[in-house]
């Protein structure tokens, strides 16, 4: 019988999550004297810590001037013995205003469940995760919070080619091997928790990934299958490389996807370099190529960015994206804080 995690969630959380959000936020403010900016607030002597983040983005392109207070989120996390957990409740599009050709203004107070999971550790090398979590695909997708990422925008590979979130289980093992660094297996055989809050509406999602570490280079390879509404199926292969040095970082990710309903293929790949110019200041260059059945030609883009971090939990970013379809060219300015 299919395990439907979302059934329990829908019967409880839709009624009470607003109340939970308000109560936890009020508790945070009431205990502000114990709070260290960026470290979260631990509740008394319990294993529970409260935190949060907020992000605002201003976008400029040929037809658009768009201000978006994009995310405001509450984080509840902690660990005890062999267990740890994380709950992330987020209001997306808190406020948005368009002042370009298409004038619009609006706000949202809907609270979404972005992540809600628990971990059980069998030892130092094995972990079982259950609930709703970021899909273990590539490197970029493991940083869902703006302030932690190198640039404001994410590569299209991350937003369009595979499910960003999974509701199911994930098993991770780190073998005692000099070659295989980590193996990850993901199984989802149910609908998502908070079904609307994912880039695909899923009821199946399976993936396996393998990390290989060589000196300063970390390789990640894998494959996956997912089924999404109304009844589409897709399979993919991905590969990624991450290198981190004192003065620079390099990231490469690629994916090939087959949509089973029409037997058509899509692909995407990007390479990104980050130069740590001086402490707290980074310059970023990213090139990406993409081809899908919906596009008649390959979509190429180049991003040039600058990020200033006055504190480790605060980021101010400026990005410029140039596309071969010039209508997509845009400036992005963002300010984000992790509490």
Record the pTM: 0.88
More confidently predicted of 296 and 171: 171
Is residue 301 within 8 Å of 323, Cβ to Cβ? yes
Give the three-state DSSP class for 106: strand
For 38, 188, 218, 262, 305, the CA distances from 226, given in Å and listed in that order, are: 36, 9, 26, 15, 33
pLDDT one-digit tens code per residue, 230-270: 889 999 999 999 999 999 999 999 999 999 888 899 999 99
Q: Residue 252: CA atoms inside 13 Å, Cβ hemisphere, count?
A: 7
User: How many domains would you assign to the chain?
Assistant: 1
The pair of structure tokens assigned to 12 is 């409880």
Distance CA 51, CA 40 (A): 4
Task: Tell me which residue range forms the domain holding 211.
Answer: 5-338
Structure confidence at residue 37 as a pLDDT band (50, 70, 90): confident
Report whether 296 contacts 17 (CB < 8 A): no
CATH number at residue 69: 2.40.160.10
pLDDT bin (cut points 50, 70, 90) of residue 33 is low
Which distant-in-sequence residues (6+ apart) come within 8 Å of 19 by Cβ?
none
Q: Which residue has the tokens 């990231």?
A: 251
Secondary structure tally for the chain: helices H, strands E = 2, 18
Q: Which residue has the higher pLDDT, 128 or 38?
A: 128
Mean pLDDT of 149-159: 96
Give 225-287 as a DSSP string: EEEETTTEEEEEEEEEEEEE-SSEEEEEEEEEEEETTTTEEEEEEEEEEEEEEETTEEEEEEE
Burial label, 89 (beta-carbon count in 10 A; 0-12, 13-18, 19+) = buried
pLDDT, tens digit, for every residue of 99-131? 877 788 898 888 999 999 999 999 889 999 999
């Amino acid at each position: 019988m299919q395990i439907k995690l979302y059934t329990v969630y829908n019967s409880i959380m839709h009624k009470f999550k607003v109340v939970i959000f308000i109560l936890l936020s009020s508790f945070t403010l009431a205990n502000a004297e114990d709070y260290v900016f960026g470290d979260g607030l631990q509740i008394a002597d319990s294993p529970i810590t409260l935190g949060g983040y907020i992000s605002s983005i201003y976008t400029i392109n040929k037809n658009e001037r768009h201000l978006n207070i994009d995310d405001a989120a509450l984080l509840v996390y902690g660990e005890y013995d062999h267990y740890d957990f994380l709950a992330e409740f987020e209001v997306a599009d808190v406020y948005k205003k368009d002042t370009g050709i298409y004038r619009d203004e609006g706000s949202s107070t809907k609270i979404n469940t972005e992540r809600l999971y628990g971990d059980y550790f069998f030892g130092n090398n094995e972990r079982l995760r259950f609930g709703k979590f970021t899909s273990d695909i590539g490197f970029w997708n493991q940083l869902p919070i703006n302030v932690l990422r190198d640039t404001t925008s994410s590569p299209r590979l991350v937003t369009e080619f595979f499910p960003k979130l999974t509701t199911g289980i994930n098993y991770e093992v780190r073998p005692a091997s000099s070659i295989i660094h980590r193996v990850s297996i993901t199984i989802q055989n149910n609908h998502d928790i908070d079904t609307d809050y994912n880039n695909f509406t899923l009821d199946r999602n399976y993936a396996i990934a393998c990390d290989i570490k060589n000196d300063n280079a970390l390789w990640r390879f894998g494959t996956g299958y997912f089924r999404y509404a109304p009844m589409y199926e897709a399979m993919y292969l991905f590969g990624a490389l991450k290198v981190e040095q004192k003065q620079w970082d390099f990231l490469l990710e690629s994916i090939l996807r087959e949509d089973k309903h029409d037997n058509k293929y899509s692909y995407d790949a990007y390479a990104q370099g980050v130069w740590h110019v001086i402490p707290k200041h980074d310059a970023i260059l990213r090139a990406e190529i993409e081809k899908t059945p919906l596009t008649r030609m390959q979509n190429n883009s180049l991003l040039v960015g600058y990020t200033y971090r006055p504190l480790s939990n605060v980021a101010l970013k400026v990005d410029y994206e140039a596309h071969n379809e010039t209508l997509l060219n845009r400036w992005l300015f963002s300010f984000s804080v992790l509490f």
